[in-house]
């Protein structure tokens, strides 16, 4: 690690990377158990993949924005530490696969040279903050939501309140009521709004709370119809604090915010958030948008002359892939990236292109594509010719032909069947047989390799989920067919119905039947959702039922798309949640670390951070002792209650007050130096008391 330590200017980042290197070493020496180490590396973007001995690295790119310099850096890192392939995710991240664990700190250090982080790209933290890729350039937007997404990313990165929650937490910002950032399926979703107040236009957001996909999708509740912009950060912090304290931690399947809000009820949850206000570092938080409103600067004012070989193809490309910006004379160019996969050689050429002839910015999109911003109209022919040479001028950006798919069994531990294989096959069918859908943006097709819905299959018009079917003693890869999902706008959406399962090799025929029937039987040019609702789920079950028959499978049905050998169902342990098996010694050790963190934050004048570290130390310490007694500790609020009932009320530990009274001082006091100091001191005293009790337990046991 010495080789790059002094190259990182930010001491906080340097410390973080060195800590990862140290924990890797301790893990390899057997001094940290596997489950605890998993939690740490996930919070640093290091994710185990299906192939043994290698990791997937997820690069956290807020709202998908990348400069030329950053894209060059990512390409260099992929070539040096992996295989030169980049994968765009449905959360605007980049993933690099097949990386050795030993080299991850070094890789991270290289990325940080261009201000690129891995921190909290995975694990039980606030994941990448996503936003409409058109934010800042959309003619329909009330204002640019980008500064607010950026401020959210900055405020909660490494924030102690959201480092070790029960599950991941996802936030999105939509530029317009079209809700292209999918607010209704997020833990917190924001839609930009303007409200008139005494003749003044006030910026704010419609707020959606506790949505989610997965095996039990839930439509988000409307938390606020309008939240003023200065209340954005305090509101997010309040929600995170309540989720951290009351969210489920033992049962992975119930550990998302959507289940907590369902259990408490919306009003009950909002009451807890309101009660937390006093503890917040900020009651109001102003966000400066000035950096995002600077004049657009171009390096070159003249593009090389080019010859368009086929004017008709050029016009079709402009029709499907080019969009007018709100900035006069500027256009955005969409690049359809097949399944989100592209390679470093093309990435570098693309980086050079945007640096020289655009305004040095592109954004990765929620549909695994690329959007180049700020292209002058007279430069469009040059961009078309250049992108065509790179294979980046394929028409159909964000259309029906633009299928979304997660990696599935290619690399993911949870993948059941090949989502990329069937996606490639369906795109072939669409291109060859249904060219009329080349600019159709009314039907979306999405595919996930398992129920976790990383490919967002259950919010698509036509969705497929990887599964299996049995035929006597044999197992074949299969697809659950889902129909009728979609984004309705302004925070409204619908989830698809599960219709039936078909063997994977019958996926193309399933799509043909659906599209043919839609074309033949739609009424008065109705859209797909109206057509689906008019006919009903049973109609489509009957339409596809013959394809679900498993009594007539051929040998080919037992070979998944993209494979040559017979299918073998092999599902590993998923790491999306990072739920941890806690050991008493590990918990106490972590309490010490939290107390040290609290002391450091106190010295730096970060009162709110210090207080939250002390709070976490109190919870961890109490949880350690409850674990020794095998008592329930599935939420922080339960830990507090059970500790009082078992240890304090019975006189096993003597405290000046109840444990609850001590812990809940956090929400009864404003974050001041005096309170942070006293709270830390009492947390230390509690730890010493608990540690002595634990040592006494161990001596009696021996």
User: In sequence order, what DSSP letters do the residues of 96-161 get, joined into one string?
Assistant: EEEE-GGGHHHHHHHHHTTT-B-TTSSSSSB-PPEE-TTTTT-TT-SS--HHHHHHHHHHHTT-GG
pLDDT above 90 for 31: no
The share of the chain scoring above pLDDT 90, in percent, equals 78
- What is the average pLDDT across 368-387? 98
Least confident stretch, 2-16, 155-169, 172-186, 356-370 = 2-16
pLDDT of 434 reads 96
Q: Which fold has domain 404-558?
A: Sulfite Reductase Hemoprotein; domain 1 (3.30.413)
Is residue 572 scored above 70 in pLDDT?
A: no
Q: What is the token pair recorded at 45?
A: 């973007």
Is the pLDDT at 578 greater than 90? The verdict is no
The CA-atom distances, in angstroms, between 381 and each of 295, 333, 384, 504 are: 24, 12, 5, 41
Task: Give the pair of three-digit tokens for residue 489.
Answer: 């706008």
Residue 330 predicted with pLDDT over 80: yes
Residue 574: is its pLDDT beyond 80?
A: no
Residue 6: per-residue pLDDT: 43
Q: At 84, is the secondary structure helix, strand, or coil?
A: coil
Please state, rounded to an integer, the average pLDDT across all residues of the chain: 92
> In which residue are the tokens 């004379």 written?
329
Backbone angles phi, psi at 204, to 5 degrees: -175, -165
Q: Are 370 and 335 a contacting pair, CB within 8 Å?
A: yes
pLDDT score, position 493: 97
Per-residue pLDDT of 54-77, as tens digits, reads 899 999 999 999 999 999 999 999
Rg (CA), the chain: 26
Q: Which CATH architecture has domain 130-291?
A: 2-Layer Sandwich (3.30)
Report DSSP letters for 517-549, one per residue.
HHHHH-STT--HHHHHHHH-HHHHHHHHGGGG-
Strand order in the sheet with 462-471: 404-405, 445-448, 462-471, 474-483, 497-503
Sign of CA dihedral 212, 216, 219, 220: negative
pLDDT at 701: 62
> Does residue 577 surpass a pLDDT of 60?
no
Judge whether residue 43 has pLDDT over 70.
yes
Residue 651 phi/psi, 5-degree rounding, is 75, 15
Beta bridge partners of residue 94, listed in sequence order: 59, 88
Structure tokens at 628: 């020794």
Taking residues 206-234, report their average pLDDT. Answer: 96
- Residues 261, 258: Cα–Cα separation, whole Å: 5
- Enumerate the CATH 3.30.413.10 domain ranges in the chain, comma separated: 130-291, 404-558
| CATH, domain 296-389, list 3.60.21.10, 3.30.565.10, 3.40.50.2000, 3.90.480.20 | 3.90.480.20
d(CA 139, CA 559): 48
Looking at residue 4, its pLDDT comes to: 47
Torsion from C-alpha of 635, 638, 642, 644, nearest 10 degrees: 110
∠ CA 87-92-96 to the nearest 5 degrees? 30
pLDDT tens-digit series, residues 411-437: 776 778 889 999 999 999 999 999 999
Nearest Cα to 100, choosing from 59, 61, 51, 31?
Answer: 51
First CA to last CA distance, the chain: 41
pLDDT category, 571, cuts 50, 70, 90? Answer: low
Cα–Cα distance list, 501 to 443, 453, 463, 507, 562 (Å):
21, 16, 12, 10, 20
Q: What are phi and psi of 270, to 5 degrees?
A: -65, -30
**Per-residue pLDDT at 580:** 33
37 or 236: which leads in pLDDT: 236
The band of 575, judged by pLDDT with boundaries at 50, 70 and 90, is: low
Q: Which of 184-193, 244-253, 321-330 has the lowest mean pLDDT?
A: 244-253
Mean per-residue pLDDT for 640-652?
Answer: 94
Buried b (16+ CB within 10 A) or exposed e, 78-92: bbebbeebbbbbbbb
- pLDDT confidence of residue 570: 60
Work out the pLDDT band at 169, boundaries 50, 70, 90.
Answer: very high
Alpha-carbon gap, residue 95 to 106, rounded angstroms: 16
User: Which region among 26-35, 218-227, 300-309, 595-604 has the lowest average model confidence (pLDDT)?
Assistant: 26-35
Name the residue with tokens 């009790």. Answer: 693
Res 522 pLDDT > 90: yes
Cα-flanking dihedrals φ and ψ of residue 32, to 5°?
Answer: -130, 130
**DSSP bridge pairs for 324:** 331
Residue 351 above 90 pLDDT?
yes
Give pLDDT, residue 702: 54
The CA distance from 113 to 111, in Å, is 5
Number of alpha carbons in the 13 Å side-chain half-sphere of residue 93: 23
Rounded (10°) angle between helices 266-275 and 257-264: 100
Residues of the chain with CATH 3.90.480.20: 2-112, 296-389
pLDDT at 2: 43
Instruction: Go through 103-117 and write b for each residue having 16 or more CB atoms within 10 A of its CB, e for each that does not.
Output: bbbbbbbbbbbbebb
Q: Which fold has domain 584-701?
A: 1.20.120
In 3-state terms, the chain is what percent helix, strand and coil (to 5)?
45, 15, 35
CB-based contacts of 563, cutoff 8 Å, min separation 6: 418, 421
HEC letters along 638-671: HHHHHHHHHHHCCCCCCCCCCHHHHHHHHHCCCC
Judged against a pLDDT cut of 50, whether residue 608 lies above it is answered with yes
CATH architecture of 2-112: Alpha-Beta Complex (3.90)
């Amino acid at each position: 690690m010495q080789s790059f330590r002094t190259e990182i200017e930010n001491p906080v980042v340097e410390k973080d990377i060195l800590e990862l290197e140290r924990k890797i070493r301790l893990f390899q020496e057997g001094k940290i158990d596997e489950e605890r180490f998993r939690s740490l590396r996930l919070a640093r973007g290091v994710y185990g993949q299906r192939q043994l001995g290698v990791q997937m690295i997820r690069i956290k790119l807020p709202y998908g924005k990348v400069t030329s310099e950053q894209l060059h850096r990512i390409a260099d890192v992929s070539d040096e530490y992996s295989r030169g392939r980049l994968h765009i995710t449905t959360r605007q991240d980049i993933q690099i696969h097949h990386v050795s664990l030993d080299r991850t700190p070094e890789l991270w250090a290289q990325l940080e040279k261009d201000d690129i982080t891995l921190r909290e790209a995975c694990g039980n933290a606030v994941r990448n903050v996503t936003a409409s890729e058109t934010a800042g350039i959309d003619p329909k937007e009330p204002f640019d939501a980008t500064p607010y997404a950026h401020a959210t990313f900055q405020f909660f990165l490494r924030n102690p309140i959201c480092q070790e929650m029960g599950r991941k937490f996802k936030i999105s910002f939509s530029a317009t009521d079209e809700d292209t950032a999918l607010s209704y399926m997020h833990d917190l979703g924001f839609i930009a709004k303007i409200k008139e107040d005494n003749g003044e236009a006030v910026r704010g957001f419609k707020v959606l709370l506790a949505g989610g996909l997965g095996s039990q999708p839930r439509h988000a509740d409307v938390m606020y119809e309008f939240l003023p912009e200065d209340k954005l950060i305090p509101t997010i912090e309040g929600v995170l604090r309540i989720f951290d304290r009351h969210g489920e931690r033992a049962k992975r399947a119930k550990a998302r915010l959507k289940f907590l809000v369902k259990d408490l009820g919306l009003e009950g949850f909002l009451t807890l958030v309101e009660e937390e206000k006093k503890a917040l570092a900020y009651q109001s938080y102003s966000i400066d948008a000035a950096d995002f409103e600077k004049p657009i600067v171009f390096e070159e004012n003249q593009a090389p002359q080019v010859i368009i070989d086929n004017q008709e193809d050029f016009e079709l490309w402009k029709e499907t892939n080019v969009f007018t910006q709100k900035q006069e004379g500027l256009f955005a160019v969409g690049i359809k990236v097949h399944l989100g996969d592209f390679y470093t050689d093309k990435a570098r050429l693309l980086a050079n292109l945007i640096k020289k002839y655009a305004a040095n910015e592109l954004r990765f999109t929620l549909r695994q594509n690329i959007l180049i911003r700020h292209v002058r109209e007279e430069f469009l022919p040059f961009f078309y010719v250049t992108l065509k040479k790179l294979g980046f001028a394929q028409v159909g950006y964000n259309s029906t032909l633009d299928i979304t798919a997660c990696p599935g069994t290619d690399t993911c531990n949870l993948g059941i069947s090949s989502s990329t294989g069937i996606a490639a096959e369906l795109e072939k069918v669409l291109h060859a047989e249904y060219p009329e859908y080349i600019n159709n943006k009314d039907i979306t097709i999405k595919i996930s390799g398992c129920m976790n819905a990383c490919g967002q299959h259950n919010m698509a018009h036509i969705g497929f989920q990887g599964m299996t079917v049995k035929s006597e003693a044999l197992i074949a890869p299969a697809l659950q067919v889902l129909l009728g999902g979609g984004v309705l706008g302004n925070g409204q959406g619908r989830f698809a119905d599960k219709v039936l399962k078909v063997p994977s090799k019958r996926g193309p025929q399933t799509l043909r039947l659906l599209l043919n029937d839609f074309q033949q039987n739609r009424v008065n040019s109705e859209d797909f959702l109206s057509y689906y609702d008019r006919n009903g789920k049973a109609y489509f079950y009957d339409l596809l039922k013959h394809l679900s028959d498993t009594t007539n499978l051929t040998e080919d049905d037992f070979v998944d798309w993209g494979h040559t050998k017979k299918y073998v169902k092999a599902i590993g342990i998923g790491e999306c949640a990072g739920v941890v098996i806690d050991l008493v010694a590990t918990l106490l050790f972590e309490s010490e670390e939290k107390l040290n963190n609290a002391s450091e934050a106190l010295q730096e004048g970060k009162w709110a951070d210090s207080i939250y570290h002390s709070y976490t130390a109190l919870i961890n310490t109490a949880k350690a002792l409850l674990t020794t007694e095998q008592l329930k500790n599935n939420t922080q609020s339960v830990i507090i209650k059970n500790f009082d009932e078992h240890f304090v009320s019975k006189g096993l530990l003597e405290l000046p007050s109840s444990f609850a009274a001590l812990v809940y001082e956090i929400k009864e006091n404003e974050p001041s130096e005096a309170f942070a100091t006293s709270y830390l001191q009492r947390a230390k005293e509690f730890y010493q008391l608990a540690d002595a009790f634990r040592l006494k337990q161990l001596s009696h046991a021996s």
